[in-house]
């Protein structure tokens, strides 16, 4: 324990000590409420968006409907070649995945997407894309609205790791949003993971991932297995061949 101030011990009379001892076993003595009030560090002021889904004042906006300047091709770093239509970003088949120019790790991510209204295919073949945290941890984007697929591949799943707690998708053509809270993994000097990544996802107002622990990078075939990597890496959007639409993508570092 922290040391008692000496003078206290010396000047206190036996009577006082005795009454202190008794007091200890009863209710804690009164203290002032100010004793548990702190003034630093001061939380930064952030102005929320006009709408609750709009970027707060400290967000880094990756796509606001006007340009793809925040992204490049994940294949070769060339300019991102997806289409923008009516302020919406459309996955353009064959152009490949795109990734943010900036790297991110521990952060809050916001993204909105809608599935193609022309329904083609089924299961994983219908309205499929993906939002890859750090380019490797996928929050699944899929039109699984009234469409059957494996649970750990549904919209809102951590792909092939954690099924969503609920299937809370809106129908094709309507906009879904994901609020994602992500903590990047950490590794020790031997390259072994010491703090696995964790993620929380709220989808359309419904908690679908509640602080789940990621098992490693997303794998389509085989099992996830962590490999040491930096604390920040670009996010990636997937070209899975379906014209999924995105809008309003922003990030706040935590």
Site for a copy of itself in 179-238 (CB under 8 A): 179, 181, 188, 190-192, 194-196, 198, 200, 202-208, 210-213, 215, 218-223, 225, 228, 238
Q: Which is nearer to a copy of itself, 65 or 125 (CB)?
A: 125
| Cβ closest to a copy of itself, residue 88 vs residue 106 | 106
> 17-56: which residues touch a copy of itself (CB under 8 A)?
20-21, 23-25, 28-49, 52-54, 56
CA distance 56 to 39: 24
Question: Would you count residue 110 as binding a copy of itself (CB under 8 A)?
Answer: yes
CB 237 within 8 A of CB 129: yes
| Of 131, 128, 125, nearest in space to 71 by CA | 131
Residue 101 or residue 211: which is nearer to a copy of itself going by CB?
A: 211
CA atoms of 238 and 99, how far apart (whole Å): 9
Alpha-carbon distance 28 to 24, whole Å? Answer: 7
Site for a copy of itself in 68-87 (CB under 8 A): none
Assess 11 for contact with a copy of itself (CB under 8 A).
no
- What SS3 class is residue 170? coil
Closest CA to 112 of 232, 248, 230: 248
Burial of 10 (C-beta count, 10 Å sphere; 0-12/13-18/19+): exposed
Q: What is the DSSP string of 127-152?
A: SEEEEEETTTEEEEEE--TT----GG
Decide if residue 114 touches a copy of itself (CB under 8 A).
Answer: no
Centre a 10 Å sphere on the Cβ of residue 63 and count the other Cβ atoms it contains: 26
| Smallest distance, a copy of itself to C-beta of residue 140, A | 7
Stretch that binds a copy of itself, among 1-9, 61-69, 71-79, 80-88 (CB under 8 A): 1-9
Site for a copy of itself in 149-178 (CB under 8 A): 150-154, 159-160, 163-168, 170, 177
Scanning 60-68, 70-78, 83-91, 123-131 for contacts with a copy of itself by CB under 8 A, the matching segment is 123-131
Among 99, 100, 114, 140, binds a copy of itself (CB under 8 A): 140
């Amino acid at each position: 324990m922290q040391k008692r101030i000496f003078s206290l011990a010396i000047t206190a009379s036996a009577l006082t000590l005795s009454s202190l001892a008794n007091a200890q076993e009863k209710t804690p003595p009164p203290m002032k409420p100010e004793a548990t009030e702190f003034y630093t560090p001061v939380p930064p002021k952030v102005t929320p968006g006009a709408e609750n889904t709009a970027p707060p004042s400290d967000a880094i906006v990756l796509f606001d409907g006007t340009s793809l300047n925040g992204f490049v091709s994940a294949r070769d770093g060339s300019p991102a070649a997806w289409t923008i239509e009516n302020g919406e970003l459309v996955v353009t088949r064959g152009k490949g995945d795109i990734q943010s120019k900036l790297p991110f790790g521990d952060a809050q991510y916001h993204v909105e997407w809608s599935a193609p209204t022309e329904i083609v295919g089924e299961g994983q073949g219908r309205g499929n894309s993906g939002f890859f945290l750090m380019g490797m941890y996928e929050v699944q984007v899929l039109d699984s609205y009234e469409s059957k697929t494996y649970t750990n591949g549904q919209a809102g799943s951590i792909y092939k790791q954690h099924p969503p707690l609920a299937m809370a998708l809106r129908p094709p053509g309507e906009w879904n949003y994901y609020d994602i809270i992500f903590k990047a993994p950490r590794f020790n000097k031997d390259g072994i993971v010491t703090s696995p990544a964790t993620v929380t996802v709220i989808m359309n107002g419904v908690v679908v991932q509640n602080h789940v622990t990621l098992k490693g990078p997303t794998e389509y075939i085989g099992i996830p297995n962590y490999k040491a990597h930096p604390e920040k890496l670009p996010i990636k959007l997937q070209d899975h061949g379906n014209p999924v639409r995105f809008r309003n993508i922003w990030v706040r570092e935590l």
